[in-house]
Amino acid sequence: MKEICHWIDGKEVAGTSGRYADIYNPATGEVQARVALASPEELAAAIASAEKAQVGWAATNPQRRARVMMKLGQLINENMDMLAELVSREHGKTLPDARGDVQRGLEVIEVCMGAPGMLKGEFTDNGGPGIDLYSMRQPLGVVAGITPFNFPAMIPLWKMGPALAAGNAMILKPSERVPSTSIALARLAQEAGLPDGVLQVVNGDKEAVDGILDNPAIQAVGFVGSTPIAQYIYGRAASNGKRAQCFGGAKNHMLIMPDADLDKAADALVGAGFGAAGERCMAISVAVPVGDKTADALIERLIPKIEKLKVGPYTAGDDVDFGPVITKAAQDRINRLIASGVDQGAKLVVDGRQLKIQGYENGFFCGPSLFDRVTPDMEIYREEIFGPVLSTVRAQSYDEALKLVMDNEYGNGTAIYTADGDTARDFASRVNVGMVGINFPIPVPLSYYTFGGWKKSAFGDLNQYGPDAFRFYTKTKTVTARWFSGIKDEGASLNFKAMD
């Protein structure tokens, strides 16, 4: 059985806790490897070693740290296929989608190549008579990144890029379901010139996470995952005096106005609803057509497009649209939620539950499902399904549709399809959601903006990547300085004076 180790002090280190988690091949349902789960002692040793390594890294001037990012970017590009294969092998997503996963992480590393500019301080000349003020941004020390299964490359890169470029050391605790990509990235970072110990990949589960949250050397925690865990981690980290930014789950709605281009809207819904088997925090899981005529016309267009989707293992080639979900438990949960939708009166227009793929009968596959006439009280509306299930909630007016989005407890992403600029502008301005798409279904901002949801999709006050990440991973020191009259007033002296 292949064993995935930790990456500590620049090398792979076998686990000593005796605890392991199985890593499945989601397409076959077989266990393909096992990952070591760190004990509190292993974690504490990795943190202590990172603390030592961070001192020299913080003292390395910012442009040298940026050059490590440059080299890392180059190496990620050169190893794109290897990384994508690792992502697909453990996650199950298609190779083109896995390349996108690596690419959107790489783009954050590209911004980190400009870290010195982000780390510049401020200066006020003559804030008082002969008094100057200046501020500097200094790294926090050792920080932690705790990441989910659904983007095995992108989110670890979102965490490590800004944290390391700012001069911190990082303990990265990737999802125990997809640990290999993080180890590969750590190896590339070493090849790029990152000193050993500055990036430690500690594999583990709740025990390792709790160890991170309680260790006094950890200064900040960047988390991405489900909402209940995000809220838990935010609370425990904050009560231990740490900075925390914790990004959680989502229920993303797309409004389809009567004047929208319905063919384009249907294509967008299929891509955003079913891509990566719906396992994206920015997936559109709720379509909100405005008016019954719009709804009927939309559903009519969606059905053939959904029925044409090809589901299969990533190894089956480029005509596969999406792969399996991550675990048997996820598959069972999705099927249970679909059944609850039917029981509670929603209309199941396309039923993906019966999908069987020859040769992959034990894989965690879910076919695409489409619901019509979903109402907000139903479980399928209230729960984040995180699977290939698109729910349609019909609204009779723009205001009713907007209210639906506003009343939802999540606020990660949303989109509107319309031909009317005024409606789009009103929506973008009023909606209480962090990322908005206008005729654009998955509005993940580019890496020089920032990423973050509102409401129960995020806990903490700064977003991921972009300028916010550099604020999160640095602390500000402000100096007020005055110099009393010196050599310019006294003039140079040629006499041999006492040093008093």
Q: Is 175 in the site for ligand NAD (CB under 6 A)?
A: yes
Of the candidate residues 15, 26, 92, 248, the single one contacting ligand NAD (CB under 6 A) = 248
| Residue 17 in the binding site for ligand NAD (CB under 6 A) | no
| Residue 346 identity | A
Q: How far is the CB of 246 from ligand NAD (least distance, A)?
A: 9
* Least distance in angstroms from the C-beta of 247 to ligand NAD: 3
Member of 109, 146, 276, 415 binding ligand NAD (CB under 6 A): 146
Identify residues 412-431 at the interface with ligand NAD (CB under 6 A): 412
Contact 24, 35 (CB under 8 A): no
| 447 binding ligand NAD? (CB under 6 A) | no
Q: How far is residue 442's CA from residue 283's CA, in Å, rounded to a whole number?
A: 7
The one catalytic residue in 112, 246, 281, 366 is 281
Q: Does 386 bind ligand NAD (CB under 6 A)?
A: yes
Does 112 participate in catalysis according to the annotation?
Answer: no
Strand ranges across the sheet with 142-146:
11-13, 6-8, 199-201, 169-173, 142-146, 218-224, 243-247, 458-459
> Measured from the CB of residue 155, what is the shortest distance to ligand NAD in angstroms?
6
**Helix runs in 24-139, H state only:** 40-59, 62-78, 80-91, 95-112, 115-118
Residue 92 is a binding residue for ligand NAD (CB under 6 A): no
Buried b / exposed e across 177-205, counting CB within 10 Å, b at 16+? Answer: bbbbbbbbbbbbbbebebbebbbbbbbbe
**Do residues 329 and 26 make contact, with C-beta atoms less than 8 angstroms apart?**
no
Q: What is the number of helices (H) and of strands (E) in the chain?
A: 17, 23
State how far the Cα of 333 lies from the Cα of 327, in Å rounded to an integer: 10
**CA 93 centroid distance within chain:** 16
Q: Which of 73, 152, 197, 225 binds ligand NAD (CB under 6 A)?
A: 225
Q: Tell me the CA distances in angstroms from 340 to 277, 335, 336, 410, one per residue in order.
A: 20, 9, 6, 21
| CA nearest to 339, candidates 384, 309, 371 | 371
* CB-nearest residue to ligand NAD: 225
Residue of the chain from 142, 229, 260, 287 that contacts ligand NAD (CB under 6 A)? 229
By the rule CB under 6 A, 150 interacts with ligand NAD: yes
Minimal distance in Å, beta carbon 412 to ligand NAD? 5
Q: Which is nearer to ligand NAD, 210 or 420 (CB)?
A: 210
DSSP, collapsed to helix, strand or coil, labels residue 395 as strand
Per-residue x/- track, 277-316, ligand NAD (CB under 6 A):
----x-----------------------------------
202 binds ligand NAD (CB under 6 A): no
Q: Is 68 helix (H, G, I), strand (E, B) or coil?
A: helix
SS3 call for 20: strand
Which of residues 166 and 281 has its CB atom nearest to ligand NAD in the complex? 281
Among 149, 371, 459, 465, binds ligand NAD (CB under 6 A): 149
CB of 303 to ligand NAD, least distance (A): 27
- Piece of the chain touching ligand NAD by CB under 6 A; list 39-47, 218-226, 254-262, 299-307: 218-226
Site for ligand NAD contains 383 (CB under 6 A): no
Q: Report the distance separating Cα 295 and Cα 48, nearest Å.
A: 58
176 binds ligand NAD (CB under 6 A): yes
Structure tokens at 454: 């509102």
Contacting range for ligand NAD; rule: CB under 6 A; set: 1-9, 149-157, 349-357, 362-370 = 149-157
Judge contact between 282 and 413, C-beta under 8 A.
Answer: yes
- The binding site for ligand NAD (CB under 6 A) comprises 146-151, 173, 175-176, 205-206, 209, 224-226, 229, 247-250, 281, 384, 386, 412, 453, 457
Catalytic machinery residues: 281
